[in-house]
Amino acid sequence: MSKSLEISSKRIVDKIYMVRGHKIMLDTDLAQMYNVETKQLKRQVKRNIDRFPEDFMFELTNEEYQVLRSQIGTLKRGGHTKYLPYAFTEQGVAMLSSVLGSKQAIAVNIQIMRIFTQMREMLSTHKDILLKLETIEKKLLHNDHHLKKHEEEIQMIFEALKQLLEPSQESRKKLGYRRKDEQE
């Protein structure tokens, strides 16, 4: 991919949000990455609306938009949008490249699809940890009076995470042939 079309992975990851239980990207962020105006992107989607069922794309409600806006601080004070943004799931983002067709859209979509795949792989690799975190989160939300026990469980999880992230302290034997002066 040429440098002019390349977008940093971090920039893409920073633009993936959770809404309605789906990882989504907003039309404004995608339009910026594709180097097109948001209204042009929306126009192409409306012209090809049959390609975008609700599990590919949906319009945010005003409440969802306000919550998301407060979390990410997308607009300057006093700024607003006339229309609610479209939210594209992974499948919707993939479909966008077929309706936009520009080299930039295709190149960016390839990057986005790779990042979604990496995220999915990471989640499946650490699914047991995520399930435990989810269980603890649910307990915390419903049982505030057991907070001390939950703090201990959270501490245990953080310790386990640290152990996973830190390289092993065990010394490993070197593989291969050794000269006589190197042998143990």
Same domain, 74 and 151: no
76 and 148 in a single domain? The answer is no
Per-residue confidence in pLDDT tens, the chain, 184 aa? 444 456 777 888 888 888 888 889 999 999 999 888 999 999 999 999 999 999 999 999 999 988 888 777 655 444 456 789 999 999 999 888 788 877 878 788 888 888 888 887 776 776 777 677 777 767 666 665 555 666 667 667 766 776 666 554 444 455 556 666 655 5
Domain count of the fold of the chain: 2
Please state the pTM of the whole predicted model.
Answer: 0.60
Q: Among 72, 102, 125, where does a domain finish?
A: 125
- Both structure tokens of 48: 């090809």
Are residues 26 and 110 both part of a single domain? yes
For residues 1 and 110, the answer to whether their CB atoms sit within 8 Å is yes
The answer on 121 and 159 residing in a single domain is no
Straight-line distance from the first to the last Cα atom of the chain, in angstroms, rounded to the nearest whole number = 49
Q: Is residue 17 part of a domain?
A: yes
Domain range spanning residue 145?
A: 127-165
Domain CATH for 33: 3.10.260
Instruction: Write down the pLDDT at residue 172.
Output: 47
C-beta neighbour count of 111 within 10 angstroms: 18
Query: Could you tell me if 156 and 138 lie in one domain?
Result: yes
Q: What is the pLDDT of residue 77?
A: 47
C-alpha distances (whole Å) from 83 to each of 59, 60, 113 are 9, 10, 27
Q: How far is CA 155 from CA 152, 158, 163, in A?
A: 5, 5, 12
Asked if residues 121 and 131 have their Cβ atoms less than 8 Å apart, the reply is no
